[in-house]
Amino acid sequence: MALVTGTRFARWGTPPRPVGLSEAAEQFLADAVGSPPPRPPVPVGDGAVPDSRLTAAQQDALAGIVGADAVATGPAERLGHAAGCSLTDYLHLRQGDLDPRAVPDAVVRPASSEQVRDVLALAATAGFAVVPFGGGTSVVGGVTVPGDGARIALAFDRMADVLDVDEDSMTVTVQPGITGPVLERILQARGLTWGHLPQSWERATIGGYVATRSAGQSSTGYGRSDEMVEALRIVTPVGDLVLGRGPRTAAGPDLRQLFIGSEGAFGVITEVTMRVRHLPTVMRYEGVMFPSYEAGVAAFRDLAQYRATADVMRLSDVPESTATLAMSGPQGRIGDVFERYLSLRNVAGGCLAILGWEGYSRRLVSARRAAAWSVMRDHKPATLGASVGNSWRRHRYDGPYLRDVLLDRGFIVETLETAGHWSDLHRVRDAVAAALTATLRHDGRDPYVMSHISHVYETGASLYFTVIAPAAVDPVAQWAGAKAAAMAALTASGATITHHHAVGRDHAPWLAAEIGSTGVALLRGIKGLVDPDDVLNPGVLVPPEPA
Amino acid sequence: MALVTGTRFARWGTPPRPVGLSEAAEQFLADAVGSPPPRPPVPVGDGAVPDSRLTAAQQDALAGIVGADAVATGPAERLGHAAGCSLTDYLHLRQGDLDPRAVPDAVVRPASSEQVRDVLALAATAGFAVVPFGGGTSVVGGVTVPGDGARIALAFDRMADVLDVDEDSMTVTVQPGITGPVLERILQARGLTWGHLPQSWERATIGGYVATRSAGQSSTGYGRSDEMVEALRIVTPVGDLVLGRGPRTAAGPDLRQLFIGSEGAFGVITEVTMRVRHLPTVMRYEGVMFPSYEAGVAAFRDLAQYRATADVMRLSDVPESTATLAMSGPQGRIGDVFERYLSLRNVAGGCLAILGWEGYSRRLVSARRAAAWSVMRDHKPATLGASVGNSWRRHRYDGPYLRDVLLDRGFIVETLETAGHWSDLHRVRDAVAAALTATLRHDGRDPYVMSHISHVYETGASLYFTVIAPAAVDPVAQWAGAKAAAMAALTASGATITHHHAVGRDHAPWLAAEIGSTGVALLRGIKGLVDPDDVLNPGVLVPPEPA
């Protein structure tokens, strides 16, 4: 059965907005990856949505818990909660061939922890699965959960309030369905900010961030979402947990860390208390060019290890720097002047970095920036000034829009990410790039593989890869092969299977490489303790038991 | 049966060193708490150590695993591993009335993860318990584990090596038995430091720090021990876990956080990889006086929330400031000048703070200090100069020695600690101080209760209480009543049951107040998954199941 989903669901932006490619960008793409035939999505239509597998009695029981208007069974609602935002999800949605068994049989919108509790109890007795669905931005199959039995999407539009702001302790307590833009509007009116800014910002929810250990573009300075959680309420099939007292504790294992990153498989996060900050009054963003990738990596490592980090730190490798400058750098005569400047400073052909400092006094921000420059100096960087930094800030959310355009043009484009210790980092990058290149080479043409570091720690850094290649006849299979090769390469080189995108279904086969078979068995045992009927997000996070 | 243990075991220092009280200190104590009759420990003797409950065959089997010279069954060895360092432990050791069922039946010293694995397997089949014993510095009954069945202390003297130093990633991998002084000697020879400096530093082991989520005096700047762990190897009865790949991950729940803080009840930590730092080249320590405790707390909160923390931050309340200045402040004519300075600056009778900055350039340390002063200025502090800060550094490990002297003098002296959000902090301090005062009031005389903040977070801070009172006829019962009242007060006011001393047996009754009954049930379930025969540290961390 074909589901005709088309552009309605597989398009970023709320609402989608067109993104154009500059002439320079068109030229660069044609030179670098070629000009495949366009692949527009199949046209929008009502399509054949499978019948709901919920019985009328089950639908009535759900309506009895959350109210009749909070149980949606129409095709558009159900299709809108059938997949996330991975390339694979997007390809299926654009091609109209999503697995119909992944389409939820109802979208249920609870309004309280009590209603979540009652829905889980009903699911256990009635035997349907529950897929918590926040912004639906998973890129790892975390909300794409096909199966033979009935399943509902649990949506949090009605649990999206700020419950409490403690301006003395600088914490905010929210319900899981609130998004970043709404939360920031409320906080910034009080002079506060959360500061969590991933590319999924427009759509993703706080509950989703916490359930997936999301990191954002400012996480080097503001901390990852998992580091900002003070307390949680989690509704599980065996009872509620309220975890987190005070700013830190030594009271045994940190059970919060079992539920942070549990991706809806261990319980439903219904309240989150997070650390917030004063809204910064001084911001200084800057572009920097290093003579080589090695120099840039060494500088970023030193910034972390001599405690002189900026709040935003981003370092592109040579391919990404080349692409960025070619597609959005200065052109024409200004471009020539720019090139001469780079040559004069011995950084031509090098690597582009963005550094951003945020703070509460010009003096301290200047002192931090001066400290950073004194640490970096050995690695011979040249400043590109504030305009390059500010330009990056303006375009920081453009990536997902651009992906839509490139998919329309007949490319596949996807990202994958990891993190490794400094001593492993070059090896990881080279191995993943080689694996992607080898598996996506086609008609003698290499894919374009580029990467950047966007989160820096004292002991290592993240690596974020973007790959562009002409779509093959079956782009889903094309990408599956490349992804598997990349995962094999990164696990073999000591890196983590994911730095900030979670496990979902797509990474579950590699979880044993991360935590060992004893670790996987322990997770499975814990799943059995908190969700004995396997109601929650089956197959996500914990890989199916080997036969 | 009386165990004659005396000073041999209940004395801090390796070896114990005498600490004298100044004349001013003697006077202050007499005025503040009185002059009880001395209570010297019972004399050293061989005592009656109970027979080992291990059969000869079991002892042979242990010797077969670790070697005959690594199984000790002599009375001194066994008594030396029978208790930790809480006031209650010390009182029992000094009185010679330790519960003989807590005396381990052998001290076993494995040399490898394999030997630990084999010992746990033997314990499960032979039915004896295993109490992992690092430095033996638990102040919460974590290594004082009485029971009717046989038990062994698992000591780590033979697993105390540095396994690897990665100077690029700035990590060190160690075995669990290494102590801070040994590790720092090795690291500092290479220009590195771990920077974890709790008062138990002389004796405690890295494995113990990690198993209890220890924090140290520099944790505001260096991070807590639990935050410095990159990777762990844990040997459990159901298999080994090797956890931690790369600097951070989003690969599901953080299973490391189940074993960090698991206090030997979930497994034996046999390898720890930790983040280290470059040895600082610039240090600046300073004493500061605030006009009031409220002003000091507000200043410390602002330092954290405007991201201008020092690496060491310590703020004494009025009673602790008064005691510190009376006992070790300037005396005589210099004391008069000092008093006039305090009055002139409007901080007389106020609160004493220590701030310490460590770094790699004079410029950045100065800039950080300047930023801190500009944040604090609103709260009207007066500097006391570097000498007060440096004096604090010199005496930072004196506390445990002083306790021995005060116990000899007939006082009881104990500490307890917690952490709370800024908005709760005054309430927590007042409630705990009131509970201790009410329960330890005797013959119309109040105990001396003082506290300080020693770890600062953006959302709250730790509170560390010290109480001194004349010992009653039964000081164990005297302290048990006071401790229970303090725990009730702090749980009622929203604080954590322990900020850095772990749960042990002493805090286990309050664990449900921290993580709820569902949380305790989950911990008990996880204990069943990893230690199905309840071999490891029975009764520690997870409270016994209600009948």
Tens-digit pLDDT profile for residues B131-169: 999 999 999 999 999 999 999 999 999 999 999 999 999
What is the pLDDT averaged over residues B183-201? 96
User: Would the CB atoms of B243 and A519 count as touching at under 8 Å?
Assistant: yes
> Given CB atoms, is A166 within the 8 Å cutoff of chain B?
yes
Q: Residue A547 has what pLDDT?
A: 62
* CB distance B115 to B162 below 8 Å: no
What is the pLDDT averaged over residues A429-456? 96
- On the question of pLDDT at B483 being above 50, the answer is yes
Question: What are the chain B neighbours of A280 within 8 Å (beta carbons)?
Answer: none
pLDDT band at B396 (very low <50, low <70, confident <90, very high): confident
User: Would the CB atoms of A459 and B277 count as touching at under 8 Å?
Assistant: no
Give the distance, in angstroms, between the CA of residue A233 and the centroid of all CA atoms in the same chain.
23
pLDDT (tens digit per residue) in B407-453: 999 999 999 999 999 999 999 999 999 999 999 998 889 999 999 99
Nearest CA in chain B to A249: B499
Which region among A18-27, A252-261, B101-110, B513-522 has the lowest average model confidence (pLDDT)? A18-27
Q: Residue B138 has what pLDDT?
A: 96
Question: What are the chain A neighbours of B370 within 8 Å (beta carbons)?
Answer: 363, 367
Name the B residues in 498-517 with CB < 8 Å from any A CB.
498-503, 507, 511, 514-517
pLDDT (tens digit per residue) in A443-496: 889 999 999 999 999 999 999 999 999 999 999 999 999 999 999 999 999 999
3-class DSSP state for residue B173?
A: strand
Distances from the Cα of A539 to the Cαs of A390, A524, A535, B447, in angstroms?
Answer: 42, 11, 10, 59
Instruction: Measure B298 CA to nearest chain A CA, in Å.
Output: 9
> Given CB atoms, is A22 within the 8 Å cutoff of chain B?
no
Report which of residues B390 and A318 the model is more confident about.
Answer: A318
Instruction: Measure B41 CA to nearest chain A CA, in Å.
Output: 32
Nearest CA in chain B to A515: B243
Q: Residue A8 has what pLDDT?
A: 54
Interstrand relation of A282-290 and B106-108 (parallel, antiparallel or unpaired): unpaired
Instruction: Measure B462 CA to nearest chain A CA, in Å.
Output: 8
Question: What are the chain B neighbours of A170 within 8 Å (beta carbons)?
Answer: 305, 422, 458-459
- On the question of pLDDT at B9 being above 90, the answer is no
- On the question of pLDDT at B244 being above 90, the answer is yes
Full DSSP string of A67-84: -GGGEE-SHHHHHTTS--
Beta-carbon contacts of A272 under 8 Å, excluding residues fewer than 6 positions away, are A173, A174, A175, A176, A206, A207, A210, A229, A231, A232
pLDDT band at A9 (very low <50, low <70, confident <90, very high): low
| The amino acid at B323 | A
Q: Residue B1 has what pLDDT?
A: 39
Give the residue among A475, A477, A478, A489 at the shortest CA–CA distance from A434: A489
User: In a mutagenesis test of the A interface, which of B138, B190, B200, B249 is the best target, namely the one with the most A β-carbons within 10 Å?
Assistant: B249
Of B306, B502, B525, nearest to A529 by CB-CB distance is: B525
Count the alpha carbons within 13 Å of A14 in the hemisphere toward its beta carbon. 10
Strands (E), B422-530: 448-453, 460-470
Question: What are the chain A neighbours of B526 within 8 Å (beta carbons)?
Answer: 253, 522, 525-526, 529
User: In a mutagenesis test of the A interface, which of B225, B248, B524 is the best target, namely the one with the most A β-carbons within 10 Å?
Assistant: B248
Q: What is the ipTM of this complex?
A: 0.96
Q: What is the CA radius of gyration of chain A?
A: 23
> Given CB atoms, is A433 within the 8 Å cutoff of chain B?
no
> Given CB atoms, is A158 within the 8 Å cutoff of chain B?
no
Which region among A1-5, A412-416, A506-510 has the lowest average model confidence (pLDDT)? A1-5
pLDDT band at B326 (very low <50, low <70, confident <90, very high): very high
How far is the C-alpha of A179 from the C-alpha of A1, rounded, in Å?
Answer: 34
User: In a mutagenesis test of the A interface, which of B376, B453, B458, B501 is the best target, namely the one with the most A β-carbons within 10 Å?
Assistant: B458
Q: What is the mean pLDDT of chain A?
A: 94
> Given CB atoms, is B532 within the 8 Å cutoff of chain A?
no
User: Would the CB atoms of B305 and A424 count as touching at under 8 Å?
Assistant: no
Question: What are the chain B neighbours of A497 within 8 Å (beta carbons)?
Answer: 245, 249, 251
How far is the C-alpha of B275 from the C-alpha of B291, rounded, in Å?
Answer: 38
| The amino acid at B158 | R
pLDDT (tens digit per residue) in B249-267: 999 999 999 999 999 999 9
Which region among A318-322, A396-400, B293-297 has the lowest average model confidence (pLDDT)? A396-400
Question: What are the chain A neighbours of B299 within 8 Å (beta carbons)?
Answer: none
Name the A residues in 275-334 with CB < 8 Å from any B CB.
275, 277-278, 301, 305-308
User: Would the CB atoms of A166 and B249 count as touching at under 8 Å?
Assistant: no
User: Would the CB atoms of B249 and A213 count as touching at under 8 Å?
Assistant: yes
The residues that bridge with B162 in the sheet, in sequence order, are B174
pLDDT band at B14 (very low <50, low <70, confident <90, very high): confident
Name the B residues in 63-122 with CB < 8 Å from any A CB.
none
Full DSSP string of B399-452: HHHHHHHHHHTTEEEEEEEEEEEHHHHHHHHHHHHHHHHHHH-BTTB--EEEEE
Question: What are the chain B neighbours of A166 within 8 Å (beta carbons)?
Answer: 421, 423
> Given CB atoms, is A377 within the 8 Å cutoff of chain B?
no
Nearest CA in chain A to B245: A496
Locate A447 and state its tokens: 């894919």
Q: What is the CA radius of gyration of chain B?
A: 23
Q: Residue A394 has what pLDDT?
A: 87
- On the question of pLDDT at A44 being above 70, the answer is no
- On the question of pLDDT at A89 being above 80, the answer is yes
Which region among A46-60, A222-236, A277-291, B431-445 has the lowest average model confidence (pLDDT)? A46-60
Q: What is the dihedral of CA B217, B219, B220, B221, to 10 degrees?
A: 110
pTM passes above 0.90: yes
Instruction: Measure B192 CA to nearest chain A CA, in Å.
Output: 11
Distances from the Cα of B10 to the Cαs of A196, A293, B40, B80, B504, in angstroms?
Answer: 51, 58, 11, 9, 19
User: In a mutagenesis test of the A interface, which of B166, B167, B169 is the best target, namely the one with the most A β-carbons within 10 Å?
Assistant: B169
Residue B157 has φ and ψ, to the nearest 5°, of -60, -30
- On the question of pLDDT at A12 being above 70, the answer is yes
Q: What is the mean pLDDT of chain B?
A: 94
Question: What are the chain A neighbours of B250 within 8 Å (beta carbons)?
Answer: 212-215, 226, 261, 496, 498-503
Q: What percent of chain B has pLDDT above 90?
A: 86
Q: Residue A543 has what pLDDT?
A: 81
User: Would the CB atoms of B306 and A278 count as touching at under 8 Å?
Assistant: yes
Question: What are the chain A neighbours of B254 within 8 Å (beta carbons)?
Answer: 226, 254, 257-258, 260-261
pLDDT (tens digit per residue) in B22-51: 899 999 999 999 999 999 988 655 566 889
Element (H, E) at A162: strand A162-166
> Given CB atoms, is B190 within the 8 Å cutoff of chain A?
no
DSSP H helical ranges for B134-215: 180-188, 206-212
Full DSSP string of B89-143: HHHHHHHT---GGGS-SEEE---SHHHHHHHHHHHHHHT-EEEEESS---SSSSS
pLDDT band at A47 (very low <50, low <70, confident <90, very high): low
- On the question of pLDDT at A70 being above 80, the answer is yes
pLDDT band at A502 (very low <50, low <70, confident <90, very high): very high
Q: Residue B518 has what pLDDT?
A: 97
> Given CB atoms, is A460 within the 8 Å cutoff of chain B?
yes
- On the question of pLDDT at B4 being above 50, the answer is no
Question: What are the chain A neighbours of B252 within 8 Å (beta carbons)?
Answer: 261-263, 502-503, 511, 515, 523, 541
What is the pLDDT averaged over residues B286-302? 98
How far is the C-alpha of A329 from the C-alpha of A338, rounded, in Å?
Answer: 9
Of A511, A516, A525, nearest to B529 by CB-CB distance is: A525
Buried b or exposed e, range B230-259, using 16+ CB within 10 angstroms? bbbbbbbbbbbbebbbbbbbbbbbbbbbbb
> Given CB atoms, is A251 within the 8 Å cutoff of chain B?
yes
Q: Residue B2 has what pLDDT?
A: 44
pLDDT band at A96 (very low <50, low <70, confident <90, very high): confident
User: Would the CB atoms of B253 and A249 count as touching at under 8 Å?
Assistant: no
pLDDT (tens digit per residue) in B306-325: 999 999 999 999 999 999 99
Beta-carbon contacts of B110 under 8 Å, excluding residues fewer than 6 positions away, are B65, B66, B70, B116, B119, B154, B156, B158, B159
User: Would the CB atoms of B364 and A308 count as touching at under 8 Å?
Assistant: yes
Of B170, B263, B419, nearest to A248 by CB-CB distance is: B419
